[in-house]
Chains A and B, each alone.
Chain A
Amino acid sequence: MAWNSFATPLIGKGVRWASRTLHHGGSAFPGKIVETIDPTFLARTLAQLPLGVVLVSGTNGKTTTTRMVASMLSDLGLKVFTNPTGSNFTRGVVSALLQTVSLAGRLDADIAVLELDEAYAVHFVHQVRPRYSLLLNVMRDQLDRFGEIDNTARLLGKAAAATDGTVVLNREDPRIARLARLAPAGTGVRYFGLSDDLKRFFPSDDDMATTVSVEGETSAASPSVAGSSASAGSEAALPADVTLTAVGDHAATFLMDGDEHHTDVRLEGVYNLYNAAAALAVVRAVRRDAIARTPSVAGASAGTPVSDFRARLRRFAQAKDDDLIAAVSRVTPAFGRGEVIDVNGSPTELLLVKNPMGFRLSLASFPPEGADTMIVINDEYADGRDMSWLWDVDFTSLRETGVAQVSGVRAWDMALRLGYDQVPVGAVDTDIDAALAAFVARNPGTRKHIYCTYTAMLKVRAALGRIAHVADAGVGK
Chain B
Amino acid sequence: MGKTIDVMSLYPKDMNIYGDSGNVLTIRRRLELYGYEPVIHQYNQGDDWPDHVDLILGGGGQDSGQSKIIDDFFKRADLIRSLAFHGTPMLMICGMYQLFGEYFETVEGSRLEGIGVIGAYTIGKDVRMIGNLVEHSDDFGDIIGYENHSGQTFLREGTSPLGSVDEEGRGNNGEDFTEGARFNNVIGTYMHGSLLPKNPLIADFLIRNAVERRYGELNDGRLATDAQTPDQAAELARLDEVAAKAREVAAARPR
Contact = CB atoms under 8 A, between A and B. Distances in A.
A212 B28 contact: yes
A143 B18 contact: yes
B62 A385 contact: no
Contacts of A411: 249
B contact residues, range = 35 or more
B62 A150 contact: yes
Contacts of B146: 144, 385-388
Contacts, number: 116
B242 A419 contact: yes
B249 A413 contact: yes
B116 interface: no
A446 B125 CA distance: 53
Contacts of B223: none
Contact of B245 (A140, A412, A417, A420): A412
Contacts of A388: 18-20, 22, 146, 192-194
A409 B246 CA distance: 10
A410 interface: yes
Given A211-B21, A212-B40, A420-B22, A391 B9 contact: no
A409 B16 contact: no
Most buried by B among A147, A212, A417: A212
Interface stretch (B73-81, B106-114, B128-136, B159-167): B128-136
A412 B9 contact: no
B239 A416 contact: yes
B21 A212 contact: yes
Contact of A416 (B9, B130, B131, B197): B197
Contact of A390 (B17, B19, B150): B19
A224 to B, nearest CB: 15
B64 interface: yes
B253 A379 contact: yes
Contacts of B131: 144, 385
A409 B245 CA distance: 11
Nearest to B16: A210
The 5 closest A-B pairs by CB, nearest first: A391-B22, A391-B19, A388-B19, A210-B21, A412-B246
Interface of B: 9, 12, 16-22, 24-26, 28-29, 40, 42, 62-64, 128, 130-132, 146, 148, 150, 192-194, 197-198, 238-239, 242-243, 245-246, 248-250, 253-255
